[in-house]
Amino acid sequence: MRRHRNVKIVATLGPASDDYDTIRALFEAGADVFRLNMSHGGHEDIRARHNTIRDIERDTGRPICILADLQGPKLRCGVFKDDEAEILEGQPFRFDLDDAPGDATRVQLPHREIFEALKPGGHLLVNDGKLRLKVDSCGPDFADCTVITGGTISNRKGVNVPDVVLPLAALSAKDRKDLEFVCELGVDWLALSFVQRAADVAEARALAKGRAAILSKIEKPAAVEAFDEILAASDGIMVARGDLGVECPVQAVPPIQKRLIRKCRAAAKPVIVATQMLESMIDSPVPTRAEVSDVAQAIYEGTDAIMLSAESAAGSYPVEAVTTMNAVAEEVERDPTYREIIEASRSSKLSSTADGIVAAAREIAETTDIAAICVFSHSGSTALKVSRERPRVPIVALTPITETARRMVLSWGTYCVLTQPVERFKFAVVSGVRAAKAGGFAEPSDQVVVMAGIPFGKSGTTNILRVAPCDEQLIFGPEVD
């Protein structure tokens, strides 16, 4: 199942992709990672999808990565006497804690934490930002506002508060139950919603107890401002452009996306660009040209992965959406301009022996006749560093640990292989050569670069590199099995 592109594709599962045949078709069309959205479906639905993915993994013999996306706290207004009301630009409107049905002058906002954080001059956004209100005055149980952008407000619409850091934990009671459930299932990554500060990530990590890697969703202005600290605390990042585009000016989202991708790459941590990538394909078998350009731009920027949401979860053309995304990725990566952009944005900062060896491996691969870079890793950290370099040749990431193989799938350019444990470097070389040939990356007449750390099994010890022929008889002679 060799892919002919380096960027990875994340496909969300849902009612439109709920059976073995469809999920396998998504995988064969190009999906590398499957997202389980904890906002939709009960635990038994999630369990069934998880088990189906693992069945496909067994049947295809390829590691498959599973990402569980936690819902996060949902801020919603109350209900209205007539289920909805019309509020007009310039009129006053009040949010309060009174649970009486609302009308065109007021409605309940059952989140005391919002009133505690609000300040005059701030804004409240309703229904994905379609309605905008400015706070004139506020107290511990009310906010008197002026309608800036009016329209219809209806029962339990979502409320965004872009101007302040809310005194809310990123994990609700539901999230804590979901986190424990999916960690016991054996998912590989946890996507954490409503991240505002690094402490939110630390809380999730403490609950996960090493059973899954932590991926922080950047969807609030506060997270953008605290991004360096959040990145340091996280294993990966998702640029969640849905809520980010609601709470930030829409014109600010593309520059934010570009900056965040570059910072993630410099830190050798995978980053996903998500939301509305091929949204028209929910109902259409072909995307718009603007959507294709959006997907292509994220790839040119060097993102590790691009994500489908409703397109694959609830749309009429889930397989076609993955096929389209795969085709766009292959075309972009064939463009000589792509390599120019990727190499121009490479970070030159080296801080460890492993960094130096990884950079040397990439240079050797690009200046000599090398078919692939083979990385033997227990924790996956060396493979992440090689991925950060965005080499021109394939990365064959080998590990004896199933969980590591699955997590590494998310990273740019990694072809992950589960292998037997080794105690001597020469057997790591043999494993790398065999994996490169089996994956279709090398022929017996080729050479590969092999990297590992001695002693084996100790994280962060990458300290050896070898250029090896792919003819095993030339490596060690006829005694090699």
List 76, 176, 263, 466, catalytic entry: 76
What pLDDT score was predicted for residue 186? Answer: 97
Q: What CA–CA distance (Å, rounded) separates 278 from 275?
A: 8
What pLDDT score was predicted for residue 44? Answer: 96
Closest CA to 16 of 25, 3, 7: 25
In the chain, CATH 3.20.20.60 sits at 8-73+170-335
pLDDT tens per residue, range 286-343? 999 999 999 999 999 999 999 999 999 999 999 999 999 999 999 999 999 999 999 9
Q: Where are the beta strands (DSSP E) in 27-179?
A: 33-37, 65-69, 84-87, 92-96, 106-108, 123-126, 131-139, 142-149, 151-154, 159-160
Question: Could you tell me which residues are beta bridge partners of residue 450?
Answer: 374, 466
Catalytic-residue membership of 105: no
Q: Report cis status (omega within 30 of 0) of the bond before 254.
A: no
Percentage of the chain beyond pLDDT 70 is: 97
To the nearest 10°, report the CA torsion of 372, 336, 328, 63: 10
Give the count of beta carbons closer than 10 Å to the beta carbon of residue 480.
13
Per-residue pLDDT at 457 exceeds 80: no
Catalytic-residue membership of 424: no
**Crossing angle for the helix pair 336-344 and 318-334, nearest 10 degrees?**
80
Give the contacts of 44 (CB within 8 A, at least 6 positions apart).
none
**Crossing angle for the helix pair 318-334 and 289-300, nearest 10 degrees?**
50
List 5, 8, 35, 265, catalytic entry: 35
Give the contacts of 451 (CB within 8 A, at least 6 positions apart).
357, 358, 361, 373, 374, 375, 376, 382, 386, 462, 464, 465
Least confident residue range of 162-166, 183-187, 350-354: 350-354
What pLDDT score was predicted for residue 476? Answer: 61
Look over the chain and give the mean of its residue pLDDT values, rounded to a whole number: 94
Model confidence at 163, pLDDT cuts 50, 70, 90, reads confident
Asked if the 8-73+170-335 domain carries CATH number 3.20.20.60, the reply is yes
What pLDDT score was predicted for residue 454? Answer: 75
DSSP letters, 301-340, are: TT-SEEEESHHHHT-S-HHHHHHHHHHHHHHHHHSHHHHH
Cα angle at 70 between 67 and 76, to 5 degrees? 150
CATH code given to domain 84-160? 2.40.33.10
What pLDDT score was predicted for residue 471? Answer: 87
CATH code given to domain 353-476? 3.40.1380.20
Q: Maximum distance among all alpha carbons in the chain?
A: 86
Closest CA to 412 of 261, 191, 240, 279: 261
Q: What CA–CA distance (Å, rounded) separates 8 from 333?
A: 12
List 12, 52, 275, 419, catalytic entry: 275
Model confidence at 455, pLDDT cuts 50, 70, 90, reads confident
Q: What CA–CA distance (Å, rounded) separates 168 from 410?
A: 30
Catalytic-residue membership of 76: yes
Q: What CA–CA distance (Å, rounded) separates 285 from 283?
A: 7
Decide if 90 contacts 147 (C-beta within 8 A): yes
Per-residue pLDDT at 200 exceeds 50: yes
Q: Identify residue 359 by its one-letter amino acid code.
A: A
In the chain, CATH 2.40.33.10 sits at 84-160
Closest CA to 254 of 237, 241, 235: 241
Model confidence at 462, pLDDT cuts 50, 70, 90, reads confident
Per-residue pLDDT at 460 exceeds 90: no
pTM for this prediction: 0.94
pLDDT tens per residue, range 8-65? 999 999 999 999 999 999 999 999 999 999 999 899 999 999 999 999 999 999 999 9
Instruction: Give the helix/strand (H/E) hosting 292.
Output: helix 289-300
List 217, 241, 362, 390, catalytic entry: 217
Per-residue pLDDT at 130 exceeds 70: yes
Least confident residue range of 2-6, 295-299, 339-343, 422-426: 422-426
In the chain, CATH 3.40.1380.20 sits at 353-476
Alpha helix ranges (H) inside 95-158: 112-117
pLDDT tens per residue, range 358-390? 999 999 998 999 999 999 988 999 999 999 999
Catalytic-residue membership of 217: yes
